Amino acid sequence: MDYRKDAVTNSQRNAEDFQNQTLQKIHQVPLPNEIPYAARDLNWQNESSSQSPGFSQTVSSLISQNDDLHNRLSVILKRNAELERRLSQYQEMHSQITNENDSLRDEFSLYERRFQKAELDVKKARERQIEAEGRYAEYYSNTQHRVEELNDENNELKKSLYRLRNFHRKVMSYGKLAFQELKLSLRLSRDEQAQSEIDRLKYLEMSNQLKDEVLVLQQSLQELEHKSESDRRKLVENYESRLQSITHLHEVSIQQLGHYKERIRNLEAEVNESIEIQVESQNRAIFEERKRIESENKLILEIEKIQSENTGNRARISEIELVNKDLVSRLEFEILKNGELIAENEELRDRRDGLQIIWEEHNKVIEEQRRKIDSFEKLNLELARQLKVKKEEVDKVASELQSTLKIAERERRQMALNQRED
């Protein structure tokens, strides 16, 4: 049983080894469609390289140098494009900074115009304030002068009234004294009655005259009092009206002055704010100008660096182009020089076609071998199945034999025990 099992295992191993060797041989031989594209297009180079190794090495070195130069040229062009992109970015930044600087200048000029306008408004307000103060001083001086004149006129009228009243008192006192003297004269002497009568008549006449004069004086005094009272009232009313107008004008002037002061404060605040904004704008403009100058300097340095690099790149590109032209000319010379290898290339192509035919025949043989291997594998599988069945039968017989041997052993032991007992 072990011998049969080992034989089956060895046959399987041999079949697997044969299959692996066949596959290795198949993989070692390249198929026609596995030839690279460059090799199919440049078969004459491969065939010529097999015929002339020096030419192959020269062409390969020239091609490698040309590829290297192309790679270097592409790298330089990419770097040049990157530098041009950075240059365009710097130019865009420069234009943006220039636009910001122009906008700041416009804003600064606008603030300057506003500041000048505010200064003009403040100047006009101060001039109006000075003019209002002058007019107020003039009105105040005129009013004071007129009040003094009215006071002087009122004092004169009071003095006239006082003199008239004194004269009236003197006249009344003189009339009383004359009447008393007349009474005394009548009492003293009767003889003098006629004279007294005459004196009385004279006195009466005189008293009548005095009464008339007193009446005239009283009328004139009343007229003077009425006139003085009316004049006083008119003066007082005129004074009060003018005082009210002057007071109103003074209040209006004070309000205008307060308004002008408030406006001046507002204008001063606006001017201060404008000055602060102007200073801030100037500082910002100076900062932006410095920043712009720094950016321009950096940009100029970067542009000079880029220009120097571009100059170096142009020189390198010109050198590479010269070397490339030299290589192309050498390659063309080598191609023209090795034109007679084309015929050999045709011969090699014919040989390749023959090899392809042989390859197809070999593939047919391989397919036949594969079919045989498949049949052997099927046979091995059938043998393995039969061996498995036989193994199962043998195992079954072996188990039966073992059970029979065990029964016989038990019977033998039983017999031995029986014999010992006998």
Instruction: Provide the angle, in degrees to the nearest 10, between the axes of the packed helices 2-28 and 341-421.
Output: 170
Domain topology for 53-337? Helix Hairpins (1.10.287)
User: Is the predicted pLDDT of residue 76 greater than 60, yes or no?
Assistant: yes
Give the domain ranges of the chain.
1-51+340-422, 53-337
Task: Find the helix or strand (DSSP H, E) in which 269 lies.
Answer: helix 193-337
Tell me, what's the pLDDT at 37?
Answer: 40
CB 324 within 8 A of CB 45: no
CA neighbours within 13 Å on the CB side: how many for 12? 11
Among all chains, which residue has been given the structure tokens 């072990």? Answer: 2
**How far is the C-alpha of 360 from the C-alpha of 367, rounded, in Å?**
10
Tell me, what's the pLDDT at 420?
Answer: 75
Find the length of the chain: 422
Instruction: Give the number of other Cβ atoms within 10 Å of residue 235's Cβ.
Output: 19
Q: Is 294 exposed, middle or buried (0-12, 13-18, 19+ CB in 10 A)?
A: exposed
Longest dimension (CA), the chain: 240
Task: Write the pLDDT tens digit of every residue in 222-233.
Answer: 676 666 566 666
Tell me, what's the pLDDT at 213?
Answer: 63
Tell me, what's the pLDDT at 385?
Answer: 82
Cα separation values, 103 from 91, 116, 288, 362, Å: 18, 20, 11, 86
Residue 262 confidence class, pLDDT cut points 50, 70, 90: confident
Tell me, what's the pLDDT at 192?
Answer: 56
User: Is the predicted pLDDT of residue 1 greater than 60, yes or no?
Assistant: no
Average pLDDT of the chain, as a whole number:
67
Task: Write the pLDDT tens digit of every residue in 137-188.
Answer: 776 677 677 667 777 776 776 776 677 677 667 766 765 666 666 566 556 5
Task: Write the pLDDT tens digit of every residue in 84-123.
Answer: 777 777 677 777 777 776 777 777 777 677 767 777 777 7
User: Is the predicted pLDDT of residue 25 greater than 50, yes or no?
Assistant: no
**How far is the C-alpha of 302 from the C-alpha of 342, rounded, in Å?**
55
